[in-house]
């Protein structure tokens, strides 16, 4: 089955630690995205990548970093510089020719205490 | 003011009722999306439309480009329709990024 996987589903970390969230897709999509979802707010774009070895900052990139070494993988690192890291994180991907339609992963809920 | 506004924020209805969720946007768009998010958090794309109307089973989505407004309708609602419904738009500024509404939480009571 083709799709997007995110792991783990729930993640707990202590304040001051960096943490990396995994996102893998086997849809052969060129573009991948990371979003953050907070209660009462719409999804906000953190980073996106339209091709391997290239990525751009989204609207709220501060305190986050990404890499795109393989087409299938787009891991997100939440650094200790991110002031409010507790949130639900969603990864998505889309076909370069149909950038409008994005497919979403199941999400990772990160709690930092 | 958000670029994408949804109403209502919360909606509770009895099983079988006809449901309407509204979405208004303030920017020029190339496409509008309706997404469904279940309690577990995963998001499923329901519709992507740039004009007119689309139907899939009991779900109908319409868009009026001149009025910058879209509606999502659910006929013969069922408790399994309970979810958060999210409207999102792709602007026509060329960057293809999605801008999301805050969602409508729908609860269908048996």
Residues 50-109 of B with CB under 8 A from A: 86, 88, 90, 96-103
Å between A69 CA and nearest CA of chain B: 22
pLDDT tens sequence across B23-69: 999 988 889 999 999 888 889 999 999 899 999 999 999 999 999 99
**φ and ψ of A98, to 5 deg:** -130, 60
Q: According to the model, what pLDDT value does residue A96 have?
A: 66
d(CA A32, CA A20): 16
Confidence at residue B91, expressed as pLDDT on a 0 to 100 scale: 78
Three-class DSSP labels, A18-80: CEEEEEEECCCCCEEEEEEECCCCCCEEEEEEEECCEEEECCCCCCEEECCCECCECCEEECC
Task: State the pLDDT confidence band at B22, using cuts at 50, 70 and 90.
Answer: very high
Contact A42 B90 (CB under 8 A): no
User: Which pLDDT tens digit goes with each residue over B76-108?
Assistant: 999 999 999 999 998 766 566 789 999 999 999
The secondary structure of B14-71 as a DSSP string is ETT--EEEEEEE-S-EEEEEEEEE-TT--EEEEEEESSEEEEETTEEEEEETTTTEEE
CA dihedral of A24, A27, A33, A37, whole degrees rounded to 10: -80
Give me the pLDDT at residue B42, please. Answer: 87
> What per-residue confidence (pLDDT) applies to A28?
93
Ramachandran quadrant class, B41 (left: phi over 0; alpha: psi -120 to 50; beta: rest):
left
What does the alpha-carbon distance between residue B74 and residue B21 come to, in Å, rounded to a whole number? Answer: 9
Minimum distance, in Å, between the CA of residue B75 and any CA atom of chain A: 25
pLDDT of residue A40: 84
Q: Is B100 helix (H, G, I), strand (E, B) or coil?
A: strand
Distance CA B42, CA A87 (A): 14
Interface of A with B (CB under 8 A): 40-45, 48, 58, 88, 90, 92, 99-107, 109
Count of CB pairs separated by less than 8 Å, A with B:
52
Residue-level pLDDT at B95: 60
- Strands B19-25 and B69-74, by their bridges, are antiparallel
Chain A partners within 8 Å of B99 (Cβ): 42
Q: DSSP code of B110?
A: -
Buried b (16+ CB within 10 A) or exposed e, B23-58: bbbeeebebbbbbbbeeebbbebbbbeeeeeeeeee
Closest chain B residue to the Cα of A42, Cα to Cα: B102
- Give average pLDDT by consecutive 10-residue segment, chain A, 113 residues: 86 92 95 93 92 94 97 96 93 76 91 93
Radius of gyration of chain A (CA): 13
Structure tokens at A27: 């849809």
Q: Nearest CB to B31: which of A40, A41, A100?
A: A100
Which of B6, B10, B96, B105 to mutate against chain A (most A CBs within 10 Å)? B96
């Amino acid at each position: 089955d083709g799709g997007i996987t995110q792991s783990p589903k729930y993640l707990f970390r202590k304040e001051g630690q960096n943490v990396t969230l995994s996102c893998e897709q086997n849809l052969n999509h060129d573009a991948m995205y990371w979003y953050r979802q907070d209660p009462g707010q719409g999804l906000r774009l953190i980073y996106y990548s339209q091709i391997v070895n290239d990525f751009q900052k989204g609207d709220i990139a501060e305190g986050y970093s990404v890499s795109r070494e393989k087409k299938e993988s787009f891991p997100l690192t939440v650094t200790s510089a991110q002031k409010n890291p507790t949130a639900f994180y969603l990864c998505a991907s889309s076909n370069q020719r149909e950038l409008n339609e994005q497919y979403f992963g199941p999400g990772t809920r990160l709690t930092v205490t | 003011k958000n670029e994408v506004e949804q109403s209502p924020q919360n909606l509770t209805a009895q099983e079988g009722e006809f449901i309407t969720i509204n979405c208004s946007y303030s920017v020029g768009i190339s496409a509008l999306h309706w997404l469904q998010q279940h309690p577990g958090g995963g998001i499923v794309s329901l519709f992507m439309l740039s004009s007119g109307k689309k139907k899939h089973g009991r779900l109908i989505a319409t868009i009026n480009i001149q009025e910058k407004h879209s509606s999502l309708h659910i006929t013969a609602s069922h408790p399994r329709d309970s979810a958060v419904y999210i409207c999102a738009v792709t602007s026509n500024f060329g960057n293809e990024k999605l801008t999301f509404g805050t969602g409508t939480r729908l609860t269908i009571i048996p």
